[in-house]
Amino acid sequence: MTHVLVTLPYAVDALAPVISKETIEFHHGKHLKTYVDNLNKLIVGTEFENADLNTIVQKSEGAIFNNAGQTLNHNLYFTQFGPGKGGAPKGKLAEAINAQFGSFEKFQEEMNNAGVSLFGSGWVWLASDANGKLSIEKEPNAGNPIRKGLNPILGFDVWEHSYYLTYQNRRADHLKDLWSIIDWDVVEARY
């Protein structure tokens, strides 16, 4: 199975100023492409050669895991945004957020705090278990809650490459601004 670079569901400049055209070009067009290319090279002749991405992330280790994890993470990340989006979720996801965190605003605060407090590089995820219970998961490096049997539904990339061109060392500001471009229809469908 050959893995391909995920197609962006928007133009490269559509998420500016939150995610600039230059950041998209580097982050998606070069950084993610490298993970995808490396993954395709690494799986040749292994038990993962014909496996889907979720299986590879769940079962692999080392370099294969790192490249598969980052491919999956970035696929979820880049497809959860849209121009003119933002706002708040509706329906069952909104109900689950309110039940788990008390309010959407408290959930946003906890996600932002998790992202700011994650030491080094990694990801912050809103994930659900098999019963739909939500949790915020802090994952270092290429980590993904799928390895814990959870369903990743919303992910914030806190590697510096995801925000540094525009925000420099202001990770907290970037996290706050991401809320304005989240496509809740996509996130709700994952839930």
Q: φ, ψ for residue 117 (rounded to 5)?
A: -90, -5
Distance CA 39, CA 74 (A): 13
Same-domain pairing of 108 and 133: yes
Positive or negative CA dihedral for 33, 55, 138, 115? positive
| CATH code for position 71 | 1.10.287.990
User: Roughly how many angstroms between the first and final C-alpha of the chain, as a whole number?
Assistant: 27
Same-domain pairing of 169 and 122: yes
**Domain finish residue from 78, 100, 120:** 78
**4: in domain:** no
Predicted confidence pLDDT, tens digits, the chain (191 residues)? 799 999 999 999 999 999 999 999 999 999 999 999 999 999 999 999 999 999 999 999 999 999 999 999 999 999 999 999 999 999 999 999 999 999 999 999 999 999 999 998 999 999 999 999 999 999 999 999 999 999 999 999 998 888 877 888 888 999 999 999 999 999 999 99
**131: in domain:** yes
Contact (CB, 8 A) for 162 and 2? no
Same-domain pairing of 115 and 184: yes
Binding residues: 27, 74, 157, 161
Same-domain pairing of 120 and 176: yes
Same-domain pairing of 148 and 100: yes
**156: in domain:** yes
Same-domain pairing of 95 and 167: yes
Same-domain pairing of 47 and 113: no
Same-domain pairing of 111 and 162: yes
**86: in domain:** no
Distance CA 126, CA 151 (A): 9
| CATH code for position 132 | 3.55.40.20
User: Residue 13's closest CA among 166, 167, 173, 169?
Assistant: 166
Residue 143 domain boundaries: 91-190
How much of the chain, in percent, has pLDDT values that exceed 90? 92
**15: in domain:** no
How many residues does the structure list for the chain?
191
Alpha-helical (H) ranges within 13-118 are 21-26, 33-42, 53-59, 62-78, 91-101, 104-117
Binding residues for Mn(2+): 27, 74, 157, 161
pTM over 0.85: yes
Positive or negative CA dihedral for 60, 40, 26, 181? negative
- Count of Cβ atoms closer than 10 Å to residue 55 Cβ: 15
Same-domain pairing of 136 and 63: no
Same-domain pairing of 96 and 71: no
1-13 residue pLDDT tens: 799 999 999 999 9
Q: How many domains does the chain have?
A: 2
Same-domain pairing of 108 and 30: no
